[in-house]
Amino acid sequence: MALTDRLEFVQTISKTITSFTMSVCAMFGLGFVSQSFWKPVQVVIERIEIPASLEERGYKSEIVVKRVLDELSSYKAMAASNPKGGIDGPENAFFSSMSSEKETRIEANVGGVSLNSLEQAVRHVLQKNPVVVSGEILRVDKDGAMLEGRLRIADSIVSNRTRDARSDDVNTVIKSLAFDLFAHFDPLRAALAAKRLGNQDLALEVLRPLVSSGTPEQRKVALWLRASVAGGADRDQFLSEALAIDAKFFPALVAMAEFESSQRRYAEAIAFADRAIAIDPNSPLGFNAKGVALRQSGDRAAGVEQFKKACALPKLTPGCHIWLGLEYMRAVDGKPASKEALRQAYVEFTLAIKANPQAVWAYSHAAYVATELKDFREAKMLGARAVELDGSEPVHKIRFAGALFHLGDRVKAKAFIQEALTASPTISGPRANQFPGVRQIIAMINEDA
């Protein structure tokens, strides 16, 4: 090979290596920039000062910070596990404490340029430095029981909550501070978590400014949540507004299908459900909504087919399993469900609980089925869980009372029945016909009395 050919070959190899090196640098830079744009805001809780009286009881600033982070994780999990759908898109913030804010750096360089330096430069340009939060918990009066908690970002107050320590000590203040910090950075998910907690007023408080002055994307989600939280016969107005912003907004279409079914407008309900299914055929929620409309319109067989389609999808949902379980346990031609049908119902309710461990009605219906199958200990456990999840629903208390009665704890069973009837006298009326076992349990315990 001639010398000139060798030099040309070496130059070609050198250019290839240089080009490859620059491509790697470009890919890293582009990857980091895009990650910086889409990565949640990094929020670091620096310190929460506490009064000496709490320190004497074993509290420390780092423990309070850890508790706030634990509560934040709990709220985020509640928002993410909502069976009716969650909030699409990435989370807005990632929360951590100052002690855990130790990033692992890549100590390498390409062409004499440090990757660590490149990362620092991109952070500087994009201003993606962590947001630092600090705060304190104080006693309102020197010797009083009232606690006040505050969180700050720079000089801006994020939260200023006052709670009565005589009833629940510092824990309620910690939970409130955590929720307010969550709501500051991710208000829609915070409202969804408040709804899951059953705190309607808190959810509405967070949603109110978003409904009135949020971006179109925020408003449509806030309107959907507003309709779900407030309920009422006029909730279709909020859903219609959400669909006016985005006609393909899947959660609002499902909610409208459910609303129309509740108003006995089944053709309209099926139409909304079909639109939802066309938009997302991989979600079971549209099939569930259509199944409910068909079932309530009198076409039980068609409804069951829709529930089976929903349950066959990879995404787990409790709704279709609960509806299939109810279908198995209902009386047919005036005859009670067979033992085999009850066992099938029990399997469906178990699958519903697996899909969502917070599915309160799955526990309640399973408690009734277990009672009918004479597995009273299992019925007691399931009934207790239903009451724990929703102590305001008398049906759960009555079914739990039935299990207690069969196990011989008749005094406690009568107390639960009395409590349920006192809180909701109408449960012994026509409403009892909607829930298998309720009327029979009330009659059994009252006759024993």
- Tell me, what's the pLDDT at 246? 95
The pTM for the full model equals 0.73
- Tell me, what's the pLDDT at 435? 87
pLDDT per residue over 349-367, tens digit each?
999 999 989 899 999 999 9
- pLDDT, average across residues 379-401: 93
- Tell me, what's the pLDDT at 325? 96
- Tell me, what's the pLDDT at 385? 95
User: For residue 261, which of 221, 242, 288, 283 has the smallest C-alpha distance?
Assistant: 288
> Is residue 308 classed exposed, middle or buried when 0-12, 13-18 and 19+ CB atoms within 10 A define those classes?
middle
pLDDT per residue over 288-333, tens digit each?
999 999 999 999 999 999 999 999 999 888 999 999 999 999 888 8
Give the architecture-level CATH label for domain 37-101+112-193.
Answer: 3-Layer(aba) Sandwich (3.40)
- Tell me, what's the pLDDT at 126? 41
Which CATH number, 1.10.150.240, 3.40.50.150, 1.25.40.10, 3.20.20.70, labels domain 316-449?
1.25.40.10
- pLDDT, average across residues 122-131: 54
Higher pLDDT, 53 or 328: 328
Q: Under 8 Å CB-to-CB from 188, ≥6 apart: which residues?
A: 87, 210, 218, 221, 222, 225
∠ Cα 11 17 23 (to 5°): 135
**Stretch among 162-166, 248-252, 389-393 having the lowest mean pLDDT:** 162-166
Strand 93-97 versus strand 146-153 pairing type: unpaired
Q: How far is it, in rounded angstroms, from Cα 164 to Cα 274?
A: 50
CA distances from 156 to 59, 128, 135, 209 (A): 26, 19, 11, 18
Half-sphere exposure of 226 (CA within 13 A, CB side): 24
Q: How confident is the model at residue 161 (pLDDT cuts 50, 70, 90)?
A: low
- pLDDT, average across residues 93-103: 68
Q: What is the DSSP letter of 99?
A: G
**DSSP secondary structure string for all residues of 377-439:** HHHHHHHHHHHHH-TT-HHHHHHHHHHHHHTT-HHHHHHHHHHHHHH-GGGGTGGGGGSTTHH
Instruction: Kindly report the number of other CB atoms within 10 A of residue 381's CB atom.
Output: 16
Residue whose pair of structure tokens reads 């209902």 in the numeric block: 330
Q: How confident is the model at residue 391 (pLDDT cuts 50, 70, 90)?
A: confident
Q: Is the pLDDT of residue 1 over 80?
A: no
Instruction: Dig out the tokens for 146 from the structure.
Output: 């009232």
Half-sphere exposure of 411 (CA within 13 A, CB side): 0
Instruction: Dig out the tokens for 173 from the structure.
Output: 């203040």
Cα 114 to its chain centre, rounded Å, is 42
**Domain extent listing, the chain:** 37-101+112-193, 198-246, 316-449
Domains 37-101+112-193 and 316-449 share a fold: no
- Tell me, what's the pLDDT at 449? 56
